[in-house]
Amino acid sequence: MDWGMKNRLARIINPKDNKTVMLAVDHGYFLGPVSKLEEPAKTIAPLISYADALMLTRGVLRASVDAASSVPIVLRVSGGNSIVGKDLSNESITVAMEDAIRLNVSAVALSIYVGSEHEHQTLVNLSRLVDEGQKYGIPVLAVTAVGKELAKRDARYLSLACRIAAELGAHFVKTYYCEDFGKVVKSCPVPLVIAGGPKLETELDALNIAHAAINEGASGVDMGRNIWQSSNPVGMIKAIRAIVHESASVKEAQKLLK
């Protein structure tokens, strides 16, 4: 791996413990003004100093994040669909690599929809993005999206999707936690981070998932709704940080919520 690529990855995944707490606020690219992210600047401001990286679109980055901020950016560069459209898997690359470079991002992120109607298109999107990333030293995060089929979140499907993403050259992969998650980690040769998914019933549920994922080999989280839709977003990101970077137990992490 070339120096620039290694350097950018090291800005996101802390080389001291090989872990990361990424804050995901890219949801608007297909969900619009989702609850608690109606005004991205207000959601991001209190949380940004606790995030190892921020995942978002170029529109929200330019409009809602101070350019003097030193937080590494993971730029969402796929889209072209919406929650009210026919098929969430019908995504294209929506940002030129030149614009990502202009924005000084540390990585670019794109969704793949394995097993969907547009599987081929999204996998070719990933391959092309990796080619571009290799050219300029920009790491690519592949997101194993499941669309509306939440039932796909099992180890068999996620192992398949994560492995394909890695085989096509993704430098790190974002997926979901599931039963037998260790199997997903073992068969994926690049670092894996987990999304939180829709807001869980309690904060404890989200902490349990983060803890289990780290114990089973995840390199961290790229979490959104379970942090900023919580009634205590700052407490929540602090608790997640303790689990990811300080090997805190769920009980210890829970204390940070108070």
Residue choice 169, 182, 197, 217 for contact with ligand R5P (CB under 6 A) = 197
Residue choice 60, 113, 222, 256 for contact with ligand R5P (CB under 6 A) = 222
- 251 in catalytic set: no
Is 110 one of the binding residues for ligand R5P (CB under 6 A)?
Answer: no
Q: Which listed residue (152, 174, 199, 238) is catalytic?
A: 174
Residue choice 93, 107, 195, 248 for contact with ligand R5P (CB under 6 A) = 195
* One-letter-per-residue 3-state SS of 58-122: HHHHHHHCCCCCCCCEEEECEECCCCCCCCCCCCEECCCHHHHHHCCCCEEEEEECCCCCCHHHH
Write down the least CB distance from residue 21 to ligand R5P, Å. Answer: 12
| Contact window for ligand R5P (CB under 6 A) among 9-17, 85-93, 158-166, 218-226 | 218-226
Paired sense of beta strands 78-79 and 92-93, if any: antiparallel
Cβ-based nearer residue to ligand R5P, 6 or 50: 50
Separation between Cα atoms, residue 218 and residue 47, nearest integer Å: 22
Look up residue 190 and give its two tokens: 């690049």
| Contact window for ligand R5P (CB under 6 A) among 6-14, 113-121, 158-166, 220-228 | 220-228
Residue choice 5, 55, 107, 161 for contact with ligand R5P (CB under 6 A) = 55
| Contact window for ligand R5P (CB under 6 A) among 62-70, 80-88, 216-224, 236-244 | 216-224
Closest by CA to 99, choosing from 76, 81, 69, is 76
Look up residue 69 and give its two tokens: 């901020």
Separation between Cα atoms, residue 146 and residue 94, nearest integer Å: 19
**Number of continuous H segments (helices) and E segments (strands) in the chain:** 12, 10
Write down the least CB distance from residue 196 to ligand R5P, Å. Answer: 3
The CA-based diameter of the chain, rounded to the nearest angstrom, is 47
Cβ-based nearer residue to ligand R5P, 4 or 32: 32
Known catalytic residues? Answer: 174
- The binding site for ligand R5P (CB under 6 A) comprises 24, 26-27, 55, 143, 195-197, 222-226
